[in-house]
Amino acid sequence: MAIEVRIPTILRSYTGGAKSVQGSGSTLAELLVNLDAEHGGLRDRLVDGENLRRFVNVYLNDEDVRFLGGLETPVADGDTVTVLPAVAGGSVSA
Amino acid sequence: MLTIPRECYEKIIAHARADHPDEACGVIAGPAGSDRPERFIPMQNAERSPTFYSFDSQEQLKVWREMDDRDEEAVVIYHSHTATEAYPSRTDVSYASEPQAHYVLVSTRDEAETEFRSYRILDGVVTEEPVQTTE
């Protein structure tokens, strides 16, 4: 089972510089656990406890998984998961 | 040092003025690895707020994919502050995650004069840099 996962520049230190890695799982949650086995520490940059961190956007093919099932979004062979750092900020310190 | 075409510089300022009092935001794309900002891409501020901004996640995917297809990267990521100085806030710093980008802050707090400053933000450290415009 192969799901392509596209990794942004800032997280490529976990993948030995690779911009794309392969993983498996039937949900996004499982996929991230699977990826973390080979790229230790990657999952922790994306997930905080049981939730996706607000600093990252994760997409299944063309859609932000926040509009699908979040970490429970089903994934399948042939899907592409894309990770992008969220771009945000403001004039008031959070 | 940020070297930026005059036209892009003016478009950023015009965008910030047009969206005031909401924060304006966007990207200037350039050839990957070139450090040359060339293509002005204003973005929607999904927060529509005078004190926060965020890129709409779907729009960001579209723009990032397009840059990837064109072998470009985000050379400048800009946003405006509408009542405070053109300096990155703690929130700005905590979100800054494009290591190659120049983070441009514009302030529209003064009606007559727009502040335009640029910074590198790496591992939570802010370093201001000079801005040079070119024809």
**3-state SS, one letter per residue, for A29-89:** HHHHHHHHHHCCCHHHHHEECCEECCCEEEEECCEEHHHCCHHHCECCCCCEEEEEECCEE
ipTM: 0.93
For B76-104, what is the mean pLDDT?
Answer: 96
pLDDT score recorded for residue A94: 46
Tens-digit pLDDT profile for residues A1-58 = 699 999 999 999 999 999 999 999 999 999 999 999 999 999 999 999 889 999 999 9
State how far the Cα of A48 lies from the Cα of A94, in Å rounded to an integer: 18
Tens-digit pLDDT profile for residues B8-38 = 999 999 999 999 999 999 999 999 999 999 9
Residue ranges of domains in chain A, CATH in brackets: 3-85 (3.10.20.30)
Residue ranges of domains in chain B, CATH in brackets: 2-134 (3.40.140.10)
Interface probe with B: pick from A60, A91, A92, A93, most Cβ of B within 10 Å: A91
pLDDT score recorded for residue A92: 78
Contact criterion met (CB below 8 Å) for A58 and B18:
no
For B61-67, what is the mean pLDDT?
Answer: 97
Tokens representing residue B109 in the block:
């707090």
Q: Do B95 and A86 make contact, defined as CB atoms within 8 angstroms?
A: yes
Whole-number Cα distances in Å, B133 to A25, B2, B8: 49, 8, 9
| A89 inside 8 A of chain B by CB | yes
Q: Is the pLDDT score of A79 beyond 60? A: yes
**Nearest residue of B to residue A53, measured between CA atoms:** B95
Give percent of chain B above pLDDT 70: 100
pLDDT score recorded for residue B55: 97
| A91 inside 8 A of chain B by CB | yes
**Nearest residue of B to residue A54, measured between CA atoms:** B95
- Show residues of chain A in contact with B25, CB under 8 Å: 87
pLDDT score recorded for residue B74: 97
Strands B131-134 and B2-5: parallel
Q: What is the CA radius of gyration of chain B?
A: 14
The C-alpha angle with vertex B97 and arms to B113 and A25, in degrees rounded to 5, equals: 145
- Look up the pTM and report it: 0.94
Q: Is the pLDDT score of A71 beyond 90? A: yes
| A86 inside 8 A of chain B by CB | yes
pLDDT score recorded for residue A1: 60
Whole-number Cα distances in Å, A60 to A47, A52, B76, B121: 16, 14, 27, 29
Q: Do B89 and A82 make contact, defined as CB atoms within 8 angstroms?
A: no
